[in-house]
Structure 1
């Protein structure tokens, strides 16, 4: 056997006994990375499109809330799983023989690897959900109609809708999908309102 082959064999034997420390270091790196990703997502949420999602149309408001809650839950689960993989879990088991230690090490290495795979998948899914929520806030319609809402009394009739145009002796108000043209000389009262009755 050559000297190089002998040294490679020795290194392989040493690595066999250090595999738990290696996967724990990988888990610590993942834990640090997850903390960075979570902080980055927090910054993105602060700089996102709208100030909030309370003014979104009804189904979209609940979709955004569900996406954010699910994304946050996945990111928290990923961080906790990576933390558990990096730090291990408390155990009252005392290993007295080499065989027991070898068996426990093999099980622990597999547990840490499963934890890291879960953390990676949960992180990707959480980021996708949060990005989807931000996208919905950007593109979903608002519950509030664009424009000024007016309540106009013309004679005995009360009209409430979005102001489309005022001028040339008329006021044009959109009520639902209908445009109502009201002559200014028939208007007895007019005021802006937050919502129509």
Structure 2
């Protein structure tokens, strides 16, 4: 007969051990309310941040993205869509962390088993609430960054260029964007600067999609 390992009782618990165990039980009992309170505070803090961001977005700038040069208009639309999706998901996750998911708790017939199940369920719910809180904060910050990026693009994105005119005279040809008509002259914005073409010298003019390259025959 082989001798197996024997389990013997350990040393009696010291007062410090009992105090540590009591503190651990208190922490486990209060961990879910603490996470709920933290999620509630984060939700209100991020809501205040977004009030400021919305005020920032209302500062006067371009209001018509169709005036942006391609593809900046589509980029603004995609960034706003990303902001909407991340903001909605982040808000739902913060609500999930602060208030929990709707559900029912089933109790066992045995009182001890029911208490143990409730304690285990609270711990699992705490872990889920922490994950929801972290992901919700991250998505909300991404939403804010995307919103600021969309506003910045509408402010600083290049404007869509107007139609180009190709103006021919008896001695030269000029191509550019029509700016204005002065006394006896048509002012064009060309790649080399503003050029004034006398109206009396214009032999022909017409719109073009793009100006010919420098040195090319128009």
Residue in 2 aligned with 1:166?
182
The answer to whether structure 1 residue 47 and structure 2 residue 59 are counterparts is yes
Q: Mark the structure with the bigger radius of gyration.
A: 2
TM alignment of 1:1-197, pairs within 5 A: 10-47=22-59, 49-96=61-108, 97-145=114-162, 161-163=177-179, 166=182, 169-174=184-189, 182-185=197-200
- Residue 174 of structure 1 contacts residue 180 of structure 1 at CA under 8 Å; is this kept in 2? yes
* RMSD, aligned α-carbons: 3.8
- Residue 38 of structure 1 contacts residue 75 of structure 1 at CA under 8 Å; is this kept in 2? no
Following the alignment from structure 1 to structure 2, what is the Cα–Cα distance between the partners of residues 100 and 6?
A: 24
- Superposition misfits of 4+ residues, deviation over 4 angstroms: 4-9, 174-181
Q: Cα gap change, 1:181/1:18 in structure 2, threshold over 3 Å: closer, same or farther?
A: closer
Following the alignment from structure 1 to structure 2, what is the Cα–Cα distance between the partners of residues 48 and 117?
A: 34
1:13 CA drift (Å) = 2.6
Following the alignment from structure 2 to structure 1, what is the Cα–Cα distance between the partners of residues 191 and 156?
A: 22
Aligned length: 184
1:162 CA drift (Å) = 1.2
